[in-house]
Amino acid sequence: MSRIGVEESLTNIQEALREKGFDVVEIKQEADAKNVDCCVVTGLESNVMGISDTSLKASIIEANGLTADEVCREVENKVNTIQ
């Protein structure tokens, strides 16, 4: 099962991803994003919690302007590419 980090303010996206069977981890700080396959952030800041400056291997999806379903599709595409 893929482990997806989601910024804490995106509760609707967290719920949608859980419904799709993903293991969702709430991201409150940079350390929470370790060991995830993909991260979903608001995109309201260009450098959310310093994640873009780390050696994070996970893909980052900006949820700004996307519905929960659109984010789920993006996550599925990224995860399928990784596997």
Q: Residues 23-70: pLDDT tens digits?
A: 999 998 888 888 899 999 987 654 555 555 555 677 889 999 999 999
For the chain, first and last CA: distance in Å? 11
Query: Which one, of 57, 55, 21, 53, lies nearest residue 39 by Cα?
Result: 57
pLDDT of residue 9: 92
Pairing assessment for the beta strands 3-7 and 38-41 based on DSSP bridges: parallel
Tell me how far apart the alpha carbons of residues 37 and 13 are, in angstroms, rounded to a whole number: 16
